[in-house]
Amino acid sequence: MMDALLEVKGLHVDIPLSAGTLHAVRNVSFSVNRGQTLALVGESGCGKSLSVLAVMNLLPKKARWHAEKLLLNDEDLTSTSERNMADIRGSRMAMIFQEPMTSLNPCYTIGNQLMEALLRHQKVSRSDARDRAVFLLEKVGITAAASRLKQYPHQLSGGLRQRVMIAMGLMCGPPLIIADEPTTALDVTIQAQILALLASLQQEFEMGLILITHDLGVVARVAHRVAVMYCGLVVETGDATSLFENPLHPYTQGLLASLPIPGKTMPGEHLGSISGMVPTPIGEQHGCVFRNRCTYAFDDCSAGPVDLREVSNGRTYRCLLSPEVCAQNLAGGQSL
């Protein structure tokens, strides 16, 4: 068993509101190894972004978090000081944000913003930092890299800006990269390129990558391991192949059935859908969080919280039904 690069166990994020406490993330555990891609996937509001913001200690001030275990290379991050976190962010784990136009500062040149992290974390000269910036811009496929350093974010296209964001994340050579919806704002043709780029850089530098997305297509093509989140809980985990080919949890099954797939779904026919709405994350949950939308719900589902069950190594799901019954449900659903 390889040592995990990042290990998160029992992470909770709560946001106190006037109406009660919003449990945005409940008892979430995941780990990432070097050279591995973990995808956190789920619909908006499921807590995927807040989970990693907690890891980076970048949560909004209002939010509270605690975790049983939060280890980065065996260093405990639950009790570390903000000063130490500032040293860790950027140098040992870096984040690539969703919207490159809002996360790049419009008042500074690309070069300035690229070099900032390296100058902050390491004792290097400006000219060395510049060389590193040019090297990485070329790595991420930007031509005429040296002249780009003098440009401002608004002079670049969306795809280029996203490439700059990736290069920025890599400046200090962090072993762990967290990418929050890195391609959502991009066109489909650029999306494939950016994902291929991330995957090849990850292999080259043996980085761990946490990919946060709502796009199941992206997850299937890029991730090694997947954790599906619903309403603050992880409802299913597994390696990408077995999770997509044999989804167990009714929510995962429902999500996959609701996607139109050229050549597989019948044009003009009804797509699968998940009826109802996500329950409010405010207050305590009793029973299975998915039961109000689940076709297979029965009395026991509302009795008490449902635990994650392990089917095989690393393959878990949070449902009272046995894996065999879940597999049958899937087969039955497809023939309908």
Partner 1 sequence: MTKKVLQIQDVTKTYRVSAGAFKGKRPLHAVNGVSLEIEEGSVLGLVGESGCGKSTVAKIILGLESATNGHIILDGNPISRVARREMTRRVQPIFQDPYASLNPRKSIGSIISLPLRVHKVGGRADWGKKVNKIMDIVGLPARLKHSYPNQLSGGQRQRVAIARALIMRPEIVICDEPTSALDVSVQSQILNLLIDLRKEFGLTYLIISHNLAVVEHIASRVAVMYLGRIVEESPTSDLFKWPQHPYTRALLASVLTPEPRKGLPETHLGIAYPNPIDPPSGCTFHPRCPKATELCQTTPPNPRSDAGRLVECHYPEQ
**Binding site residues, partner 1, CB under 8 A:** 43-44, 141-143, 157-160, 187-193, 195-196, 199, 214-222, 240-241, 244-245, 254-265, 267-274, 277
We find the least distance from the C-beta atom of residue 267 to partner 1, in angstroms, to be 5
Tell me whether residue 32 or residue 218 sits nearer to partner 1 (CB atom).
218
Pairwise CA distance, residues 304 & 285, whole Å: 9
Pairwise CA distance, residues 256 & 252, whole Å: 6
Pairing of strands 37-41, 225-230: parallel
We find the least distance from the C-beta atom of residue 289 to partner 1, in angstroms, to be 14
Tell me whether residue 91 or residue 253 sits nearer to partner 1 (CB atom).
253
We find the least distance from the C-beta atom of residue 52 to partner 1, in angstroms, to be 19
We find the least distance from the C-beta atom of residue 211 to partner 1, in angstroms, to be 13
Q: Residues near 142 by Cβ (< 8 Å), separated by ≥ 6? A: 148, 160, 163, 164, 167
Tell me whether residue 124 or residue 199 sits nearer to partner 1 (CB atom).
199
Pairwise CA distance, residues 235 & 253, whole Å: 11
Tell me whether residue 205 or residue 244 sits nearer to partner 1 (CB atom).
244
We find the least distance from the C-beta atom of residue 217 to partner 1, in angstroms, to be 3
We find the least distance from the C-beta atom of residue 173 to partner 1, in angstroms, to be 24
Tokens of 330: 């899937």
Tell me whether residue 51 or residue 213 sits nearer to partner 1 (CB atom).
213
DSSP symbols for 65-118: EE-SEEEETTEE-SS--HHHHHHHBTTTEEEE-S-HHHHS-TTS-HHHHHHHHH
Tell me whether residue 78 or residue 157 sits nearer to partner 1 (CB atom).
157
Answer whether 250's CB lies under 8 Å from 264's CB: no
We find the least distance from the C-beta atom of residue 61 to partner 1, in angstroms, to be 24
35 φ/ψ sector (left φ>0, alpha ψ -120 to 50, else beta): left
From the list 227, 218, 276, the residue with the least C-alpha distance to 247 is: 227
Helix axes 110-121, 158-170, angle to 10 degrees: 10
From the list 69, 106, 90, the residue with the least C-alpha distance to 178 is: 90
Tell me whether residue 43 or residue 128 sits nearer to partner 1 (CB atom).
43
